[in-house]
Structure 1
Amino acid sequence: MLIIFGGLPGSGKTTIARALAERLNAVHVRVDTIEQAIRASGIADDAGPAGYIVAYGIAGDNLTLGRTVIADSVNSLRITRSAWLSVAQAAGVTAAEVEVICSDKAEHRNRVETRLTDVEGLVKPTWQETSERAYDEWHDAIVIDTAWKTVDAVLDELVSRLKSAPPNA
């Protein structure tokens, strides 16, 4: 299965994606890490679409090995979400889309403004950049709200909803 995460920076998607990958013994593919590695290589200052394209390849390889893959990126554009679905289709596996939100704007802003980077050299977006980001509406996604919930509570809800979600292949 390919579980496609998305959501604005600071919504909690990487925290939840990592915890879900650990719980399911799944592969965690994080576009931020890939994009920063591209920048750090000196090949390009701007990773552009390369980070997503590399992530699609890594995910596809792991899916064909029979591994569950957690795809972790902002996925703010419909085109990237469609590409992820194509990766699942090419590998012959089901896919689930998960939009992570933080409905409490003050909490969301606090997270964006106070979180530290865990990827060397990665500069996190500001609250203004986050709030002004182009963000296409999601359709047919499982929406998970992380505002004022523990990681375990969010995981329990998400696993339950993934089990009952209709397959998307």
Structure 2
Amino acid sequence: MRTGAGIVEIELICSEPALHRQRLENRLPDIDGHKVPTWDDVVSLTYEPWDREHLVLDTAESSLDHVLDRVEAHVRDKIGYSRMA
């Protein structure tokens, strides 16, 4: 069954390892029973580059508000939606 739904892919990165580690180590689980990964867990993962179009946003370089604005603009562009004044 076709729904007409599309997919918009967004990759969030943190390009500053010290900041990434600090955020991770200060993170608290927000889901019951969820275990927050350790820094060793994160650095031992194998990164698999994306092989299709996607938006990459670096949280080390942008505020949360800026990231959200970019996500909203990207999604609106991909679905062909523009704000009406």
Superposition TM-score tier, normalisation by shorter sequence? 0.7 to 0.9
Q: Which runs of 5+ in 2 are unaligned?
A: 81-85
Residue 75 of structure 2: SS of its match in structure 1?
helix
Report the number of matched residues.
79
Report the TM-score when normalising by structure 2. 0.77
2:24 matched residue in structure 1: 112
Whose radius of gyration is greater, 1 or 2? 2
Alignment partners' CA distance in 2, 1:122 and 1:109? 19
> Are 2:15 and 1:99 aligned?
no
| Distance in 1 (alpha carbons) for counterparts of 2:29 and 2:57 | 23
Moved over 4 A (4+): none
- Indicate the percent of aligned positions where both proteins have the same amino acid: 35
Q: Give SS of 2:8's match.
A: strand
Displacement after TM superposition at 1:132 (Å): 1.1
For 2:39, the aligned partner's letter is W
**What corresponds to 1:126 in structure 2?**
38
Residue 68 of structure 2: aligned partner: 155
CA RMSD of aligned residues (A): 2.1
Give the secondary-structure state (helix, strand or coil) at the position aligned to 1:155: helix
Q: Tell me which protein shows more helix as a share of its residues.
A: 1
What is the TM-score when the length of structure 1 is the normalising length? 0.42
Deviations 1:27-75 (A, max 9, x none): xxxxxxxxxxxxxxxxxxxxxxxxxxxxxxxxxxxxxxxxxxxxxxxxx
The answer to whether structure 1 residue 145 and structure 2 residue 31 are counterparts is: no
Which one scores higher on RCO, CA 8 angstroms, separation ≥ 6? 2
